[in-house]
Structure 1
Amino acid sequence: MRTLSLPRGVRWATKDDVVSVLRTRWAAGTDLTELALGSAWEPLVIGLRPPSAAQYADDFDAVQAWANRWRARLPAGLHVQWQVVGGRRSGAVQLPVRAVIETREVLWRLLQVETQVSLFEKILAQVASDLPDARTWVARHPQRVLAVAPHWSSFIAVVRWVRDAMPTGAWIRQVDVPGVDTKFVEAHRETLAALLEVCLPPERIFTGSSFAQRYGFAVKPAYARLRRPDGTHLLPGVSEMAVPVSELNALDLPGQVFVVENETTYHAFPPVPDTLLFLGSGYGVSRLLQVDWLAHRPVTYWGDLDTHGFVMLDRLRARFPQVRSMLMDRTTLLEHERHWGVEDSPVNAHLEHLSADEAALYVDLVEDRYAVGLRLEQERIRFGRVLAAVGL
């Protein structure tokens, strides 16, 4: 027999208390996992924490009423063990001390989960037949399995298609399974990923943070957007480009480099000659880390004056040590107090590649020296300051 405990503080347990303990165990998946793995059933015992002899003597009627509720009709198979309690003051009485669930069938009836159990067994049998490598995973995650019960035929078909029929470099859009489209894969990628982990051979599982990367699907390329702010062409007849970063290395375009955060600033940037202007778009600036020839160019980064702006500056400088910042200083911040805003989710990370002044200002932003979550967006800085910063 296995003993289950009531929550702390529960005394004189009722049938509802017993069912609550059993339902907690059910929600954890323990019962269905044991069933699926073929574990022998052991009766479950729950102590009822009955009244003491002293409580019985002091509150005779309440104790009797509690005991009588346990004498009422119980579900078949739910047994109650009784014990004699009492003494000279009140006489001896039998009180219930333990509830015993003798069989799985009794447990299913108490919890009213017969339908879920039957459904789980059907899914388990289907997986064992059509995708046997996933049977153990299904057995160990019954509640996750039941939460998406209507889709298991599709899950099995998708995993088999990826394993046996997927062309090299296919897009998720090309998954050719009846009733399955890109939205289905995206909606259920956690379950599909768990199944692919146990069903694909190790050489078919790759490093990568996304579902597509990990399981060998084609991934949308990262693009870098750039132009020359003085109006000259990047290439004959081309004033602006959005280029796959993987192809940008081959261009090796001449000129100093500026990287700005905001699209409006990108379009309104002063006409600095011999300059390449990149749109950073927040953490999209990280894609520039792949552009090797930036290591041989003067690079200036201008981001928002907030904690995230300094994180992006730190990442860029970690790859390209020559990067300098522009208008990300204390003087600029304090000059524009009337334009201060609030950063939604400030960060507090250890940044190793800031200058002493940048690091001091970053700490002040983290510690809310001037205002809570202080942020100065780059488009709120006076344009005259921008002209002066670029030497125009």
Structure 2
Amino acid sequence: MTNNDVNKNDINFDILYKLYERNMINVIGQILDEVSVACLLNLRDVSVLYRNLIDQDPKSMTRLEEAARWFSGQPLVIPVCDQPGSMVTSLAANGDSIIFGLLGYDATVKIHSKNNLKLESTLVQSREFPASVSSVDFNEKLIATCAYESLNGAGSLHHAVYLWFREEKCLASKLVPHSSMIKSIKLTERFLLTASNDTTIAITDITNPTNPKLILRITDHKDNVSSLDCDRFNFVSVSVDNVLKVWEMGSWKCKFSMHSIHPTLKVALSWPLAATGGQNIVLLWNVEKGSLIRELRTGSNHGLSCLSMTWLPSRRAVNGQPRWRKKVCQDVYLVAGGNQGVISIWNTSVLLAGHPGNSPHRYIQVGGDGNNMISSLAVDGQSVMTGDWCGHVYRINFTR
């Protein structure tokens, strides 16, 4: 390779060239690790040198190949469950499990292996009709399910959260943290977070799952809290009056409160990014800075019913001491489910690189006739799991 491969007028200002000239390939690799897929693609077109540097970097090529599978490859749609007469009302998937709730003659939760997709267990929260599992989440030890069930004395539905031991598949405890419908629940290692139509967020300590203790009720929202999401250090919540709030886990302090003119019925978090959505509009936020990045649209015929993002670990200081997790070379994909069985996918690295446009980078039709509203979904680095109102659960694989 010669200097002719690079514009000689720019050599003195070209950091990558200077590093290459000094054979500092490891440093170049670290720089490329911090660059988005969109920028990698643009860098490859700058010069032969850049193209060779990227093509010879295994991590960069892995990321480019992964993005190509997500946005131009043919995904493999695998049925996980087909239960006609039931509706999938909620779904969670991480680690080695896919867990989802069904509305039928009882409130049923099914647990499938994410690897071989086989049914491992069934939990029945309520045998009374109507009963619907409005939200589900799990961690390594526990499964949390929420259903509205029997009528109480005031003539309204009773809303309860059940905690189950995941390994034993048995009930640990039952709690009633809200007086109205619970719209969203999230589990961490220590806490259960629940959002409700009673306008509050309840924080419950689940250190002892058989005796959970309500430790805080957050009353900052002024209207129904419709969705929340969290990671280890932060959580976000949205209410139907179009307000997004960003919180610090543990201190429970509100960092930012942002109002939108667009509906904020759903929220997904992948720090420092978050997405809110409603109708056919998705807003992408930088919640570390409290700023709006881009207004996105699923399309006029694709009303939004659920929202998810690939998750990256938060990086932050704990008690004043930096405890950084190793950066994962993975781009964050934003996925929205629609009311006609269509999922919309954006590569956020393209948006963060400043590329114009608000339309999805890809649409995928799930199911056949377009009448199967996608009611819930979850995303990991290789696949999207969806549940719909026709009783179907699919795993959409983007791997080779």
TM-score range, shorter chain: under 0.3
- The structure whose residues are more often helix, as a share, is 1
More strand by share: 2
Q: Normalised by the size of structure 1, how large is the TM-score?
A: 0.23
Question: TM-score normalized by structure 2?
Answer: 0.23
Which structure is richer in relative contact order (CA contacts within 8 A, separation 6 or more)? 2
